[in-house]
């Protein structure tokens, strides 16, 4: 699978999410953790969605994840050169996020649920770097 980064929808950071996107540029997967109840959460917001506490800190995720679920889209999309998987991964820290899975055939035979993954940052454009994932141990 090839991704045409010119055709990828570009996220527009907000004040609440800017740390996440600057983290991607720095090669860090920045999550947030409640100072009070220690809950790790995503997507970003300046308070804990569990207890409402505003005192929260940035936590750099390990980048390790597992493949939770996915579909393989067969309809044409300008950013992808053929059928491509849209996945939800679960990070080691327990939060989930959407991603594409790089460096692996986009087939049910190759994409096995629960397979170990690691984050793979790719610059797209307008200063945005996206967090993708790839099999842990894949050739870079």
Rule CB under 8 A: say whether 43 interacts with another protein: yes
Nearer CB in complex with another protein: 9/57: 9
Kindly tell me which residue out of 29, 100, 102, 135 binds another protein, with binding defined by CB under 8 A: 100
Task: Establish if 9 lies at the interface with another protein (CB under 8 A).
Answer: yes
Beta bridge mates, 101 = 133
The residue from 2, 57, 75, 139 that contacts another protein (CB under 8 A) is 75
**Tally of CB atoms within 10 A around 59:** 16
Residues in the chain, overall count: 140
Per rule CB under 8 A, is residue 65 in the interface with another protein? no
Residue 33 binds another protein (CB under 8 A): no
| Residue 22 sits in the site that holds another protein (CB under 8 A) | no
Contact 10, 126 (CB under 8 A): yes
108 near another protein (CB under 8 A): yes
Specify whether the CB–CB gap between 135 and 17 falls below 8 A. no
Span of 30-38, 52-60, 92-100 interacting with another protein by CB under 8 A: 92-100
115 binds another protein (CB under 8 A): no
CA distance 31 to 127: 20
DSSP E strand boundaries for the chain = 29-34, 40-41, 56-61, 64-73, 84-91, 96-99, 116-123, 129-135
Contact status: 74 vs another protein (CB under 8 A):
yes
103 binds another protein (CB under 8 A): no
């Amino acid at each position: 699978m090839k991704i045409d980064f010119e055709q990828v929808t570009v996220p527009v950071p907000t004040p609440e999410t800017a740390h996440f996107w600057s983290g991607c540029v720095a090669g860090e997967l920045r999550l947030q953790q409640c100072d009070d109840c220690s809950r790790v959460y995503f997507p970003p917001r300046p308070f804990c969605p569990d207890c409402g506490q505003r005192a929260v800190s940035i936590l750099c995720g390990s980048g390790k994840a597992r493949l939770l679920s996915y579909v393989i889209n067969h309809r044409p999309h300008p950013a992808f050169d053929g059928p491509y998987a849209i996945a939800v991964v679960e990070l080691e820290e327990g939060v989930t996020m959407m991603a594409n899975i790089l460096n692996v055939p986009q087939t049910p035979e190759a994409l096995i649920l629960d397979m170990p993954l690691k984050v793979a940052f790719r610059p797209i454009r307008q200063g945005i770097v996206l967090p993708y994932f790839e099999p842990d141990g894949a050739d870079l």
